[in-house]
Amino acid sequence: MSNDRLSRRRILKLGAGAAAVAGLAGCGPIGKSDGVLDILGQAEKLTERVQRFILSSGQLAREFSESDISPYFLANGSTDPQEPGYRAHAAEGFASWRLEIGGLVERPTSYSLDELRAMPSRTQITRHDCVEGWSCIGKWKGVKLSHLLEQTGIAANARYVVFHCADALEQTMDGSGQYYESIAMVDAFHPQTILAYEMNDETLPIPYGAPVRLRLERQLGYKMAKYIMRIELVESFAQIGRGRGGFWEDRGYEWYAGI
C-alpha cells in the first residue's frame, strides 16, 4: 500500500489527539457505547453489501432534541475557499449563485438559493461523526436531495451522484485541485439526505459550507461535501480525480463510510 493511502484503523489512531482537542471545543469523542468505533474498526473486513444488509436503506440516523445541540460545532477541512468565482458569490451573499444539476439526466437544470429555500424542506438535529474521532450535534434545514433529483428525470444508467465543490485542499491528479465527493443513488434518496442551507436556525455560515452542504447522516463526516457548486449524475466515477469517488477516497479513505 502506498504512503498516501491510509487505512481507517490508522486514521483512528491518528485521530486520538484530535478528539481531545475537539472536546475542548464543545464537541465530544465518539463513545464506544455508540458502537461507532467498533463499526469503524470492522469496516476493513465488512463489505458495503454487508453493512447495507445490517442497516436497511430506509433506517434513520438518531435525531436529537434542541437541548442536545453542541455549544460549539467544530468546523474542519476547508473553512474559507479562495476560488475567485466562489469569493465573488460570497461577497454578494450568494444572490447570483446557482446550483447546477446535470450529467445523466433528462432535464439539466439549475436553482438559485432562493428557489431552494422555497421548496419543501426538512429539519433534523443529528450528530456529525468525524473519522478523526470527534462528534458534534447540530440542527440542519434544507431541501431533500431526492426532491431535486426527481425534477431532472434520472437516466436509467445513472448510479452515482457526484458533488463538485468550490474548495481546494491540494492539487489532484486531474489538475483541477477541486474538492469532490460521490454517493450511491440509494443514499441520495435516503429521507435524511439533504442539501442544508441553514445551521442552528441561521443561514449556513461559510466555515460550515455556504451556500449549501450535503448532510448524509448515515455516513462519516468526510462524505458530507461543503461549498457545493454542481451536481453530476454518472454511471461511473472512474474518470473523476483518481477514480476512487472522492477527494479523501483518492488518498486512501474508504468510499462507503457507513456508520
Q: What is the pLDDT of residues 174-207, one digit of tens each?
A: 555 689 999 999 999 999 999 999 999 999 999 9
The pLDDT of residue 20 is above 50: no
**Mean pLDDT, rounded, for 241-257:** 91
The pLDDT of residue 252 is above 60: yes
* Out of 30-39, 43-52, 59-68, 123-132, least confident range: 30-39
Is residue 258 a part of any domain in this protein? Answer: no
- C-alpha cell recorded at residue 63: 435525531
Is residue 18 a part of any domain in this protein? Answer: yes
Task: Give yes or no for a contact between 162 and 182, defined as CB atoms under 8 angstroms apart.
Answer: yes
Q: What is the mean pLDDT of the chain?
A: 84
Is residue 49 a part of any domain in this protein? Answer: yes
Is residue 157 a part of any domain in this protein? Answer: yes
CA angle 30, 70, 57 (to 5 degrees): 55
- C-alpha cell recorded at residue 108: 439539466
Is residue 164 a part of any domain in this protein? Answer: yes
Is residue 104 a part of any domain in this protein? Answer: yes
Whole domain around residue 13: which residue ranges?
Answer: 8-251
Is residue 1 a part of any domain in this protein? Answer: no
> The domain that contains 132 carries what CATH number?
3.90.420.10
- C-alpha cell recorded at residue 188: 441520495
**Mean pLDDT, rounded, for 130-158:** 96
Could you give the number of structural domains in the chain?
Answer: 1
CA pair distance 19, 251, nearest whole angstrom: 21
Task: Give yes or no for a contact between 233 and 161, defined as CB atoms under 8 angstroms apart.
Answer: yes
Q: Which tens digit of pLDDT belongs to each residue from 112-143?
A: 999 999 999 999 999 999 999 999 999 999 99
The pLDDT of residue 53 is above 90: no
Mapped onto helix, strand or coil, the DSSP state of residue 207 is helix
* Out of 3-7, 82-86, 223-227, 250-254, least confident range: 3-7
The pLDDT of residue 2 is above 60: no
Beta bridge partners of 142: 122, 196
Is residue 256 a part of any domain in this protein? Answer: no
- Residues of the chain with pLDDT > 90, as a percent, come to 67
